[in-house]
Structures are given as C-alpha cells and as structure tokens.
Structure 1
Amino acid sequence: MDTPTLRSPQHRVSRTAVWYWAARAALGWLVLLAAQVVWLVADGDGDAWPVATHVTALVVTAVVAVAHVTVMPQWRYRVHRWEATSAAVFTQSGWFKQEWRIAPVSRIQTVDSERGPLEQIFRLANVTVTTASAAGPIKVSGLDRDTAQRLVADLTATAQATAGDAT
C-alpha cells in the first residue's frame, strides 16, 4: 500500500450543493434584513437623518447579501473535493480559508452520514470520518444521498478489511 500524499482529491461534491449553500446563506441574510426592516419601522419617528441612515444600512446589507449568495456557493463548489482510496480519504474544503486533509484508512474509527432539514430538501448528505487525529474528524459535505450511502458503505468495508488499530 502506497503512503498517501497531500494532493487535490478527484471528485467534486454534488452540483446541487451550490443551491443548498446559496439557500442557507440567503436564510441568514434574510434574518438580518428582516431585523433591519423592523428597526427602521420601529425607529421611523419622522426624522430624516435616522431614516436615511437605516435605509442606507439596509441597502448596503442587501448588496453584500446578494454578492455573498451569488459568489460564495460557486467558489465553494470549485474548491470542495473528496476522494476515498484503499489507502486514505482525501478532502479539500473551504472558500476563504481552505483546508486539505488526509485520513489513512487504517486510522478510521467511525464513518457516519447525516442530513439536516435543509439538506434533506436538496437531497444532500454529509459523511463524517472520525479518526484518532487531534485535528478532528474529516467531513465530506454536499454529497448527493446515493453517493453518501455508497461512500459510507465502501469506507466501512475498507476500514474493516484494513489492518491497523485505528488510533
């Protein structure tokens, strides 16, 4: 078995992850925008200066929100990758702060799959590979459900067939 080296993994996450990331970001921005609208209405006592300040803040927030919801998901999709071989699991993730991780199969302790409510709507799942690493588990986020199920099954079978103490 070859020793795994740090490299870009082969597989991209599901293209649907772009829509999921955009929706999740949009929900966060909508909460902030709603709070600003409530503040504007509650503080709208007729004075032009506070109203203009609130409206300016609202417009700036909306522009930043649109930019974030448009750019971030595409950027993340270009960066996020994963691969599982008989030797290791490789991941690459992030958008501003990018991270590359390798987990040798012999160190795998558990393999889990999870789907939150929004991920279920988009038919996506995440796979978490827990090892004895102090850096924490490796997460492969944004996989379609079938791919996630296959990855969990393959990693579990490979880890069971691999000699090692997983520590």
Structure 2
Amino acid sequence: MRLWLLESLFAFVLFLGGSLLIAHWVGGSGWSWVPGWFADHSWTLPAAVVVLLGPFLVTEPFIRYAVHRWELSGDVVYARSGYLTREWVFVPVSRIQTVDKAQGWFERMLGLATLEIRTASHAGSSTIKGLDHHVAAGLAEQLAHRAEALRDDAT
C-alpha cells in the first residue's frame, strides 16, 4: 500500500505544482486570450485541484490495496487488480512463456518489485505489482521451474 500512497502523492504534487505554475503565469502576465474572470481569480485552479484530487489521493491507495490480490495454487496463477474496473486473470502455469521481475523508482526505494507473467496471448498475461523484492524473486523462480516442468503437458 505504501507504493500506491507514494504514487498518488507524487501525482498530486505534479498536478498541484502545474496548477500553481499556470495560476502564476495567468495571474501575473495578463494574457489577453485568457477570460478576465479567470485572470482575476487564477487561484481557483490550484484550489480546484486540491478539492477534487484530495479525496482521490486519500481513498485510491486503500481501495487498490483492498482489491489487489494474487495467488499461486496448483497449476494456475490467479491475479486480481483494478481501481475503477476490476480485472481477474487466471494464468495456467503450463502456458507461461516468460516471467519478468521489474522495479520502478518508487518500488526500488521501498524494496518492492513487479512480477510480469507473460503468455503467448496478451489476454492471458498478468502483472502483480507491489510484491516484496524477495517474494517476487522467489515467485519468479518458482513459476519458471513449474512452467518448464509442465511444458511437455501443454498442447
């Protein structure tokens, strides 16, 4: 959940910084193409960003954490994700072609990783985000070995 909180906070800071910059340019320069009411009240843009994105910043990481799940059971990897729309993916281990582990900037800072399970079909591929780095490495190795053992049974 720390990862999604950090990502939300970063996006919020970018939006707020951008809106403050625009408000400063519009309010200070008196551009002729900007409506007069907006030039006189340019502070409303950063205020709107705070009012509209503030609740999203607080709720989105908790909802994503509540929804984001994964499980390796038998010969299937089950992954559920999504914020506005839910996605359930069942990946048969025998269909796995590659298992990749990736780390973005925030994941590296927090000691987390993303596991990308790819099959020949894009629809059958899955991504598990926010795993502990050691769990992701162990799961990637385990899936690679299981997929190799089951490859002969696949049609």
TM-score, length-scaled by structure 2: 0.86
1:127 aligns with 2:110: no
Assess if the C-alpha contact under 8 Å between 2:19 and 2:49 holds in 1.
no
Structure 1 unaligned residues grouped into runs of 5+? 1-17
Deviation (angstroms), 1:74: 0.3
1:56 aligns with 2:44: yes
Assess if the C-alpha contact under 8 Å between 1:131 and 1:166 holds in 2.
no
Matches within 5 A, 1:73-112: 73-112=61-100
Cα distance, 1:41–1:109 mapped onto 2, change above 3 Å: same
Residue 93 of structure 1 aligns with an amino acid whose one-letter code is: S
Identity of aligned residues (%): 32
Cα distance, 1:164–1:106 mapped onto 2, change above 3 Å: farther
Deviation (angstroms), 1:57: 2.2
Cα distance, 1:145–1:34 mapped onto 2, change above 3 Å: same
Structure 2 unaligned residues grouped into runs of 5+? 31-35
Matches within 5 A, 1:35-50: 35-45=18-28, 49-50=37-38
Q: Distance between the aligned counterparts of 1:32 and 1:163, measured in 2? A: 47
Cα distance, 1:25–1:57 mapped onto 2, change above 3 Å: same
TM-score, length-scaled by structure 1: 0.81
Deviation (angstroms), 1:54: 2.2
1:21 aligns with 2:9: no
Q: Distance between the aligned counterparts of 1:126 and 1:46, measured in 2? A: 45
Assess if the C-alpha contact under 8 Å between 2:80 and 2:86 holds in 1.
yes
Assess if the C-alpha contact under 8 Å between 1:132 and 1:166 holds in 2.
no
2:84 counterpart SS class: coil
Match of 2:33 in 1: none
Paired residues, number? 150
Once the two structures are superposed, what CA deviation does each residue of 1:23-58 show, in whole Å capped at 9, x if it has no partner?
112212212211211122222249883355422221
Q: Distance between the aligned counterparts of 1:81 and 1:131, measured in 2? A: 20
| Coordinate RMSD, CA, aligned | 2.1
Q: Distance between the aligned counterparts of 2:46 and 2:150, measured in 1? A: 56
Structure with the higher helix share, 1 or 2: 2
Once the two structures are superposed, what CA deviation does each residue of 1:83-102 show, in whole Å capped at 9, x if it has no partner?
11231110000011110000
Q: Distance between the aligned counterparts of 2:147 and 2:25, measured in 1? A: 59
Residue 66 of structure 1 aligns with an amino acid whose one-letter code is: G
